[in-house]
Amino acid sequence: MKTVTVENITNIVIDAMSDETSPRLREVLSGLITHMHDFAREVQLSHDEWLLGIDFLTRAAKMTDDKRNEFILISDILGMESLVDAISHDAQENETESAVLGPFFREGAPVLPAGTTIAQRGSKDGPSVLVRGRITDNKGEPVPDALIDVWETGPEGLYEQQDPNQPEMNLRGRFRSDVNGDYRIQAVRPVSYPIPYDGPSGDLLQLTGRHPYRPAHIHMVIEAEGYRKLVSQIYDSVDQYLESDSVFAVKGSLIVDFKPAPEELGVEFVVDHDVTLKDDAAAQVA
Ligand code: BEZ
Ligand code: FE
């Protein structure tokens, strides 16, 4: 019988894993246990503080359902989703920069013809914008038939699943690039909005003197056969929260201008945004 001490407990817990543990699980869990224990030793965590942490997570669990994931919010305001994203997307690579997926993506958005609007309520959803560009590979060759999944909030800053006043799948759609790799999406000019802050993640923001806002953005996930899936966003260049995004997801190269559109386009604004995808083989080598 070995009595645990502040010094030896980490190895004892790691050694409790049996040989059946998969190598990757062993690696990840050993790292997690080591860092958690080092953290507790470093800050001399008290029992009351540990209980506070458990209560924080318990409240997060009680608030989480299929429309609201408090754990993703906690992870995001602590920079974890952006960090994991940055680990797998080296900024030096010749590929459009990625940005967090966030908790509001939904599978199964309607597939729409190029140029159609995702705003089911028309101008009630906000000022119209045409987002257009070319999808190419990292040699500049067009990528036809790529699927671009877009979603954004309405003018009140809520995604449709948060807002009983919006129709199902409002402000969501999937579009295909054409033979030249060109895509055209009609959306609305996005607004900055606060991430939900009536739970433990909001408490943490308040306790640390932070606001909950995200700068105005449109989400985009782009998939094409033979290419690495790209999870990204575009940001409005005039937004006041670009420098203080509550989830640390803004990248300079994803900031775009919402330019007043020429009359013949039939929309209020136009955004030009080309996208470069990395082919799967290149992604695997990296
Ligand atoms: C979003 O942009 O939808 C989002 C991202 C992270 C946390 C909350 C919302
Ligand atoms: Fe968002």
Q: What is the per-residue pLDDT for 90?
A: 74
- Nearest-CA residue for ligand 1 atom 4 is 102
Length of the chain, please? 286
Q: Among 162, 89, 169, 137, which Cα is nearest to 275's? A: 137
Binding site membership of 216 for ligand 1 (Cβ less than 6 Å): no
Does this model's pTM top 0.85? My answer is yes
- Please give the Cα distance from 286 to 33 (Å, whole number): 29
Distance CA 46, CA 73 (A): 25
Calculate the alpha carbon distances from 56 to 49, 53, 199, 203, 209 in Å. Answer: 10, 5, 9, 10, 18
Structure tokens at 273: 């945004």
Ligand 1: centre distance to CA 246 (Å): 9
- Using CA atoms, how far residue 145 sits from 60, 157, 228, 286, in Å, is 40, 31, 14, 25
Strands (E), 69-200: 128-137, 147-151, 172-176, 182-188, 193-194
Q: Indicate the top mutation candidate among 70, 71, 76 to test ligand 1's pocket, ranked by most ligand atoms within 8 A of CB.
A: 76
Q: How far is the CA of 28 from the centre of ligand 1 (A)?
A: 26
pLDDT one digit per residue (tens) for the chain, 286 residues: 789 999 999 999 999 999 999 999 999 999 999 999 999 999 999 999 999 999 999 999 999 998 899 999 999 999 999 999 999 887 667 899 999 999 999 999 999 999 999 999 999 999 999 999 999 998 999 999 999 999 999 999 999 999 999 999 999 999 999 999 999 999 999 999 999 999 999 999 999 999 999 999 999 999 999 999 999 999 999 999 999 999 999 999 999 999 999 999 999 999 999 999 998 866 665 5
- Which residue from 73, 85, 104 has its CB within 8 A of the most atoms of ligand 1, so it is best to mutate? 104
Instruction: Give the C-alpha separation, 68 to 85, whole Å.
Output: 21
With tokens 């919010």, the residue in question is 73
To the nearest 10 degrees (0 to 180), the angle between helices 200-207 and 47-63 is: 130
Bridge partners (DSSP) of residue 194 are 213
Tell me, rounded to whole angstroms, the distance of Cα 52 from its chain centroid: 28
Provide the b/e sequence for 115-141 (b: ≥16 CB within 10 Å). Answer: eebbbbbeeebbebbbbbbbbbbeeee
Give me the long-range contacts of 90-93 (CB less than 8 A, separation at least 24): 90/286, 91/251, 93/138, 93/278, 93/286
DSSP β-ladder status, 269-272 and 259-260 = antiparallel
User: Taking a C-beta distance cutoff of 8 angstroms, is the pair 219, 151 a contact?
Assistant: yes
CA–CA dist 80, 179 (Å, integer): 38
Cα distance between residue 9 and residue 19, in whole Å: 19
Ligand 2 centroid–CA 175 distance in Å is: 19
Cα separation, 236 vs 217, in Å, equals: 6
Distance, CA of 21 to CA of 140 (rounded, Å): 45
CB distance 224 to 146 below 8 Å: yes
Name the 3-class secondary structure at 112: coil
Residue 94 pLDDT: 84
